[in-house]
């Protein structure tokens, strides 16, 4: 059985005050049937890690450097993330790919560095609206996935998480239908099965893109949807927790 994972990607939002309020709200939650993780901006990781001490809510970063240490201005290493208390790091988010030019190769290197540093990567995959309209969604997602599997080996996915995030659904309020999402999730699992059946059966594949308390239950009920990567709705504790409760 795969334990559902609900991860909040706060992106570049928040202040010391709002972070306090958000974590107080999330910590106040009763036990939910899903694993919960929050991914604050890097500058807040130590603070949030401290606030989450003793709670079941895990900590994740929004990216991780593809090098161990050295002259990489602006980057944060896997070892530093571990020291801050991170269990997870998002890798290959579409905003990193489209706004900061991260290539499949760079994403694969970041993924590898997370794994070797003891951080579980949450690898994001997804097509643009144009690609969906051209009918090449599965090819696009397969190419993004293959780049990482070829570079890191399928063994590297043993502790990893995948997030299918159609680019046209991120932050737009346009959510994939449960059928559209399930089809791509099943395709990702089948691709992994071709490499290693055990990894494919155990890996959690999250859906991301305008998931909210109103649409979460239907998405999470799909056979191959094992949780969500939540942007906007993760910035309000009641909404984030309502999504987590939709797992049950
Ligand atoms: P959204 O973002 O929930 O605001 O669409 C999801 C994401 O980018 O991970």
Return the best residue to mutate from 232, 235, 236 for the ligand 1 pocket (most ligand atoms within 8 A of CB).
Answer: 232
Which sequence positions are flagged as catalytic?
93, 165
What pLDDT is stored for residue 14 in this prediction?
Answer: 96
The answer to whether 224 and 182 have CB atoms below 8 angstroms apart is yes
d(CA 51, CA 236): 17
Q: Which residues form ligand 1's pocket by a CB distance below 6 Å?
A: 9, 165, 170-171, 208-211, 229-233
What pLDDT is stored for residue 248 in this prediction?
Answer: 81
Specify the residue with its C-alpha closest to ligand 1, atom 1. 231
What pLDDT is stored for residue 1 in this prediction?
Answer: 83
Give me the residues of the chain with pLDDT under 50, please: none
What pLDDT is stored for residue 73 in this prediction?
Answer: 98
Buried b (16+ CB within 10 A) or exposed e, 123-161: bbbbbbeebbeeeebbebbbebbebbbeebebebbebbb
Specify the residue with its C-alpha closest to ligand 1, atom 6. 231
217 Cα: distance to centroid of ligand 1 (angstroms)? 17
Is the pTM higher than 0.75?
yes
71 Cα: distance to centroid of ligand 1 (angstroms)? 31
The domain 11-245 having CATH identifier 3.30.460.10: the answer here is no
């Amino acid at each position: 059985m795969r334990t559902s994972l609900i991860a909040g990607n706060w992106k570049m939002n928040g202040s010391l005050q709002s972070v306090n309020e958000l974590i107080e709200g999330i910590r106040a939650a009763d036990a939910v049937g899903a694993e919960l993780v929050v991914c604050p901006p890097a500058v807040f990781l130590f603070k949030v890690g401290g606030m989450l001490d003793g709670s079941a809510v895990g900590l994740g970063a929004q990216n991780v450097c593809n090098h161990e240490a050295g002259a990489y201005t602006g980057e944060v290493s896997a070892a530093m993330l571990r020291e801050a208390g991170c269990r997870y790091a998002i890798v290959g988010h579409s905003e990193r790919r489209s706004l900061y030019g991260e290539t499949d190769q760079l994403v694969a290197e970041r993924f590898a560095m997370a794994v070797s540093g003891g951080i579980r990567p949450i690898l994001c995959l997804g097509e643009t609206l144009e690609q969906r309209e051209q009918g090449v969604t599965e090819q696009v997602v397969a190419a993004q996935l293959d780049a990482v599997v070829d570079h890191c080996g399928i063994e590297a996915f043993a502790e990893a998480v995948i997030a299918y995030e159609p680019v046209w659904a991120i932050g737009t309020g346009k959510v994939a239908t449960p059928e559209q999402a399930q089809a791509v999730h099943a395709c990702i699992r089948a691709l992994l099965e071709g490499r290693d059946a055990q990894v494919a059966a155990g890996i959690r594949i999250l859906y991301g893109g305008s998931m909210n308390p109103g649409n979460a239950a239907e998405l999470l009920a799909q056979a191959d949807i094992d949780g969500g990567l939540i942007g906007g709705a993760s910035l309000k504790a009641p909404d984030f927790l309502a999504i987590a409760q939709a797992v049950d």
